[in-house]
Structure 1
Amino acid sequence: MALNIEKIAKSKISDVDFSNLKFGEIFTDHMFECDYKDGEWQTPQIRPYQPIAFDPSAKVFHYGQAVFEGMKAYKDKNDDIWLFRPDQNQERINKSAERLDMPAFPKEFFFEGLNELLKLDSQWVQKGEGDSLYIRPFVIATENCVSASASTNYKFMIICAPVQAYYAGEVRVVFADKYSRSANGGVGFAKAAGNYAASFYPARLAAEQGYQQVVWTDASTHEYLEEAGTMNVFFRVNDTLITAPTSDRILDGVTRKSLIQLAEDEGIKVEVRPVSRQEIVEAAKKGELKEMFGAGTAAVISIIQGFADQDQKFELPVMEDSYALRLKTRLTGIQQNKLEDKFNWTYKVR
């Protein structure tokens, strides 16, 4: 694959305080980009990170054709850089793109571009507990036209941000009973930008009531619990771990599927099935609801301390044998090349 590379004249890394990073605000020296026009992807390039200009009529602004991914790179004690299941992200961004009638991005472009970008900006991948490089691939519609139809031109990009261990403080959630994240036949399974934009208002309403996130329910009946904020959600009832099945409403999370496999490998009983709010409320009343947590790339696992269902509020116990902490320790150990990867999930940047 031909790849044009323009290196930065002087790195800005010396100006960065890596001990005091806000998530997703500081970006590395370079970015990867590739344009789609005349029915094909053009020669990709890596160039210094910088603003990009668009015509006001670019279709992404008017019809929301935009999809993205979230990944992380880790540096081990030998200064080797590792990715976690990048094949899953590569496949999913194309699945998301297809749903929004956008062209698939070639696998070889994705991996070679990502490899070269990470090699160029390898110093930005910090070596330390909880340190990683967040990677954001995305595709946007760039045709200059406001007709209501799919764009003919697109831009694929990858940008990277150094991040520390994600900590959001104590998390309490409220079960949604009015607003929905997605609907049958919609784009809930895709990482479409509009999914997240539509979630911000209900999340703000929840925050005004003292809750850090919303647990989304099915759009038809609001009876089944599906996702927690921007994460997949797990419930531990007694010693069984339960999570909703993926569908056209629920994102097929890479962290989610990895946790399911790890739990089963450790002998934890896992049930992938619809989870009703009534079931979880009843389990909480009986003292059978031991844990609830969200799972996603940014935080890996976010433990939920309490929840509200309409006018009922519940606090969860602090578990000595926490499945969440046990699974998070093993998963992050694999990601950081500290523990055995028996599943062949990790990918070494060469």
Structure 2
Amino acid sequence: MNSIKAQMVIDYIKKMENVISGIDNVEDTNDIFELIIEIANIFQNEIPEIKNSILLRNGTEIRDANTVIGLLKLYLANNDIEYKEESEENRKIKRFWTAFMLWFETELVNLELLKEKYVRWDNWNGGTWYLDIDFDYEYKMYRGTNYPESLKRNDGNISDIKNFIEIAYKYWIKNDGKSHYDFTIEVNERLKIFKLPYRLQNGILRKQGYKTTYGIDKILNYRMFERKIRFSEDMINSRDLMEKKSALDFLIDSLQYLISTQEGNRAKQYSQLAATVDQNTNSKVYVVIKNELNELMKLSNEYFDIRHNDYLNASKQQREALNDSQFIEYLYNRAYALLYLLRLKQTIND
């Protein structure tokens, strides 16, 4: 089976699944039956079992649809092609984008958040504001690319959705604090409705991986510290191994920067940071934080190729390369949790 035919089968599986789930707003059983008949006719030579297995009677529409889906998947399997089920998160993303664009194109214009050049007034029928954005032009202007096909088709591409929202925040929304704040609230409310683990923060759509009720409300040093943390937060969500590795490098570099702001030798620096969490040097909390700082820096400087390109560590021992994405995420989240706590305490103490 060639790739074009395989994609055709996959597309029909998705259409059938969408019909069953009600995404296509099916009003009666005839819509389901018409799609089943269409599939049966198109694949009558490749999968003659479809016509022999469907009943097309009132009350059998779901059974017939599931039978067709099963036979299409079996056809792919018999040709050594795996059909990957759409994830629940991807379905949520699609539903979010459908609802978001309806809001963006119809309701946002009445909130007075968009710059004037992006809305148009029409006196017809009492007067109405309309969205007036040429998406292709705007993308070429600010990204050098065409408006993504994935957004037109609603493929559930969160990377392209992230890019759209960030462009809107930076270029289309009025450049004042209140407008940016109100737009952020609206976007985050819709993300919350669809239970997506993303939040718009300072114009950047971030995936929420770290669970906390406390927020960082102070920037210590943007260029040397905060910027690297933000880069790492975006890159750790990539599926690319090297980008995950870079995220870990940025984060450990940020931790090293915070350590370097303390006075004295390395041991004294660890002690001072641990004391920001608990000033009682005899407490278990103090000991845990100090030991964790020491352990994380040992992992980065002695065990693995984090931040350094040297083949050997200071003890002339080989430093291992990190090639396991899941283990990289473990190290990242371990370091992130410690760094987040230290940032919170730094904010409170200052």
TM superposition score normalised by structure 1: 0.28
TM superposition score normalised by structure 2: 0.28
Please identify which structure carries the higher strand content.
1
Please identify which structure carries the higher helix content.
2
Q: Which protein shows a greater Rg? A: 2
